[in-house]
Amino acid sequence: MHGPAVEPFAQSTPVDQAAPAAPHAPLGSLAPRDEEPVADRTEVYREVQASAAFRQIRRSYRTFVFPITGGFLAWYLLYVAAQAGAPDLMRRAVAGPLNVAWLLGLLQFASTFLLAWLYARNARTKRDRAALGLRWDTQDQLR
């Protein structure tokens, strides 16, 4: 069953009476401008991706994140394996009602916060300034 026919452009305005074009996107926006061909914008981003500065930022990110992630996953799997494989060890009392399992579980939380802080510090000291400079250069090329 079909509904009633609707004319979507029944009250269209002639081309020469159309509303004025919207103003350009605000600074910092990556939305394409009317007078700028998309191919030129694409080429700017390809040049940025091929630049030594961009490769250095990615290398810095990877050399920090991959080892830290691997270490944290190993630490987590060690906790799970110890829970499954050595229950007597995990039940051993450390102080009062606190046993090894509780202690290692709490250290999981502590290590998560520590790694988040280390990541933020690493990004702030090693990558953010370079990435911001690259962003400003890119924005200047796109204006």
Read out DSSP for 14-65? PGGGPPPPPPPPPTT--PPPTTS-HHHHHHHHHHHHHSHHHHHHHHHHHHHH
Global confidence as pTM: 0.61
Q: What is the pLDDT of residue 101?
A: 93
Q: What is the pLDDT of residue 4?
A: 52
Confidence band (pLDDT; 50, 70, 90) for 36?
low
**1 found inside a domain:** no
Highest mean pLDDT among 28-32, 36-40, 56-60, 77-81: 77-81
**51 found inside a domain:** yes
**17 found inside a domain:** no
Q: Which helix (H) or strand (E) holds 99?
A: strand 98-99
**86 found inside a domain:** yes
**54 found inside a domain:** yes
Q: What is the mean pLDDT of the chain?
A: 78
Confidence band (pLDDT; 50, 70, 90) for 143?
confident
**9 found inside a domain:** no
Question: Total structural domains in the chain?
Answer: 1
What percent of the chain is modeled with pLDDT above 90? 43
Q: What is the pLDDT of residue 72?
A: 94
Interval 69-80 mean pLDDT: 94
**55 found inside a domain:** yes
**42 found inside a domain:** yes
* Domain span at 136: 37-142
CA-nearest of 141, 143, 115 to 43 is 141
Q: What is the pLDDT of residue 21?
A: 44
Q: What is the pLDDT of residue 30?
A: 52
Confidence band (pLDDT; 50, 70, 90) for 65?
very high
116, pLDDT greater than 60? yes
